[in-house]
Structure 1
Amino acid sequence: MSDQPINSAALRGAVDLSGLSKRPAHGGAAGAPAGGAAGVGGAPPASGGASGSGSGLVVDVPDAQAFSDLVNASMRFPVIITLFAGSQPASKAPADELAAVVRAQAGRVQLGVVDIDQVPEVAQAFQQLGQQLAQGGQLPAGSMVTTVAFLQGQPMPLPPLQDAAAAKQIIEEILKVSVANGLAGRVPGDHDAADGVDDAAEGDEEEAPSPHHDAAYEAFEKGDFDGAISAYDQALAENPNDLEAHYGRGQAVLYQRTQGLDATEVRAGAAANPSDVTLATQVADLDLVGGHVEDAFGRLIDTVKLTAGDERTQAREHLLGLFEIVGASDERVRKARTALMSALY
């Protein structure tokens, strides 16, 4: 890991860390359909923040439970967890660089700092993650993983932080990926001028989050997707350029469409009738909710190939709607757009 620029694609590709942290008792996002949207975006859970750490932007992780709570909080907003050794003071410098940039984001991301001398089990979890990545050819053998971003509970190891500029670049890319996946929550608390950071001095002035976002999150938690859509519509009426509201609304519409669907019945029907556009779009929605982005896109591209006239238009327009939900900057969307063009022409 090196001097190559960080990009959104590099921050995707989650590795399974199940068993290394405890999941919430309800099994994921409240109000979400079974399966959760691990690769696209899930409804926010009722809780957010580390146990014993309060709602600060930068928190100490004193034990494995606090680590687990931070991972669970990443269902609502991005969380970064970084390691240092208290016995080696110099090892804390990267954490300090990250902390300064995180505080300047005024609640869009949370940082957990772990002293591995005090919480060795978290260090062991990161070591296991490094081994998994090495076995998959994503890291050189023996690489150390010391900083991991969590989005919707999924870990994405980050490269070593060389300086403040690198820390800022990494966090900017994490936030881009978060927004593109509909993860638009905020760390609880009032962080407009967090820890004395002068946002104007940083040159990045943050707009205050719309109160309609909070209404949308509450509706999501209750499984009230109509209410979430309405709240996001109000946010967009006030600010048509509100990307968080745009992606959040797309997520709410997706969950609304899949609510009440019998996945087994729908999939069986689509398998028996591959040119049935309604069934194909329903399966694609279920795939997207389950995080199977490429499967959702591929199914509708195949449907476009099998149909003509109004049915082809219906399949194409539904696919374009899924592109909007995932985000135009996503590499999977770019590839699917190319495949769609080939299917059409």
Structure 2
Amino acid sequence: MTGPMGARRGVGGAVDLSALAAPKPEPTPPPADGGPSIIEVSEPTFEADVIVRSERELVLLLLWARWSEPSVHLGQTMEQLAVAAGGAWTLALVDVDAAPRIPQAFGAQNVPMVIAMWNQQPVSAFDGAKEPAEIAAWIQDVAAQAGVPMASAAAEPEPADDPRMVAAEELLNAGDTDAALAAYEAIATTDGPKSEAASAVRNIRFMVRAQQHDPSIISTAAADDVDGQLAAADVLLLGQRPEQAFDALINLVRLTDGDDRTRARTRLLELFDLFDPAEPFVVAARRKLATALY
């Protein structure tokens, strides 16, 4: 690893920390299970809170300064990652102005710098700003290469159910479709067209409409019968046959023009919205529609 001034540092090898290794107090106790481990380290507590602690867990030492904006930003990122880790490793914060002998021991001349400590020695380091995802990947790589037994982070709690959505779902399950639809529509008005409630509105409207058609329309509707083919597409989709439903409407687009063509295209786009746009059959149907239109 190249250090802040371009010189190759001793990460992965020996670094002389003896100047900081006088008798020190007991280390800061670990957090309760699942809690983040974030400590502030001074010169008197360095041995206990970093060297001794690294015998049993990974310690990420952040050298920072209050006057350095990148330091402050990286510190916030590291604290967020420590919280997410739930005690799987310890974040040790060192204010280089308050504890100048610590960065000197590592030969660090610029901040911010993060040093991974394991078994009393630095095993990896980086300096400067990085994205959270990069840092998280670096931590995993450090743990794997050093053979650090990482404790499992506490599972993130499931987000609380939205009581509005719960109430709307209960109405739907009770068979009160009209009331459920009204409830979802009210939520969608607030949460927007890309919300879960808006998706529920589209699905319910489709189900209500599709269930009103005679299933025989699939075989009785003429190829250029706009109303018949719109109904047939609904029935096909309700029967879990989306490719055939899309093909019926794409063929209708080819055979019609003007307002009839617009109706067929609009209905097809509405049916697309009932699915994940990345679904292969949706992608294929969109290509067929483009060919039919142009």
TM-score range (shorter-chain normalised) is 0.3 to 0.5
Higher relative contact order (CA closer than 8 Å, sequence separation 6+): 1
TM-score between both structures, scaled by the size of structure 1: 0.38
TM-score between both structures, scaled by the size of structure 2: 0.44
